[in-house]
Structure 1
């Protein structure tokens, strides 16, 4: 068994007006290993530290626990996954400058961002794999397992938004 630290963000329907009751129900429904944040109305973030034999087991059981208590909850994001260089540096215990240097020194080899802009965004798993394979950095297996599982969940969640009749043609464009 390993300890997995991850965050799940959900959109909630408007029927959950009583926040205290909602939090109690989550706690009683198996989410007693989560810190629950309800900052914006209609949204909840749960930061879990869950013991399991794999990240998939930890994350999927957490999603099932939330959905059992609030069947209408819609998963928005599983984190960590989408990261900027500052986020990646913080997760890895590096400086932001070190991460920037890695991208500049290895421009053509560094993973391709999910979003390219003033503040580019990557999948954390792709950075971790690249660091392990190309820079011989020591990457925690548990962190990599979490990042890969979350990346797969977020990609699958996005893929479901594509109408089934156009999925194959869209898939062909992305190759």
Structure 2
């Protein structure tokens, strides 16, 4: 069993519940291993550190627990999937400047999905794969597995 760190962001406006009611329902339905953050736009972000046989299974179980607790909630995003240079730097434990240089000079097979202002946005699983081809930048397999599972969940969510 590996530990997987990931986040799920939901729109909870249709649930018409208070923050305390949301927290209580999530806790009662097995999300006691998640840090729940609320924002003013009636969204919640659940940060998980979950032990599971696979990242896909960790995401699936967490999603089902949330939907059981909050049936009207709508998944907005699974993380880590979309990342910028700062996020990539955290994953690889390098400076943002070093990541920028690698992206500009060595990661020729990597293309940004989009740019937000001056910041390029990538899929973390693609970054991990491209950086591993360079031969010196590697992450532990659970990190790669989590990035792939998040990407798959976001793709399935986009089809709904």
TM-score (norm 1): 0.85
Within a 5 Å distance, the mapping from 1:135-154 to structure 2 comes to: 135-154=135-154
Indicate the larger mover: 70-79 or 149-158: 149-158
Q: Distance in 2 between matches of 1:153 and 1:19?
A: 25
Higher strand share: 2
Distance in 1, Cα, partners of 2:91 & 2:135: 17
Decide whether aligned partners of structure 1 residues 119 and 98 sit closer, same or farther in structure 2, where only a CA change above 3 A counts.
Answer: same
User: Can you give the 5+ residue segments of structure 1 that lack an aligned partner in the other structure?
Assistant: 161-175
Higher relative contact order (CA 8 A, sep 6+): 2
The C-alpha deviation readout for 1:52-75, integer Å capped at 9, x for no partner, is 000000011000000001111111
Tell me which residue corresponds to 1:166: none
The Cα shift of 1:134 comes to 2.3
Q: CA deviation at 1:103?
A: 1.2
CA RMSD, Structure 1 to Structure 2 (Å): 1.4
User: What does 1:64-143 correspond to in 2, within 5 Å?
Assistant: 64-106=64-106, 108-109=108-109, 111-116=110-115, 118-143=118-143
Distance 1:13 1:34 in 2: 20
Q: 1:65 to 1:55 in 2, by over 3 A?
A: same
Higher Rg: 1
Shift of 1:16: 3.0
Asked if the contact 1:16/1:22 (under 8 Å) is kept, the reply is no
| 1:107 shift after superposition | 5.5
Q: How many residues align?
A: 159
**Which sections of structure 2, spanning at least 5 residues, go unmatched?**
none
Residue 40 of structure 1: aligned partner? 40
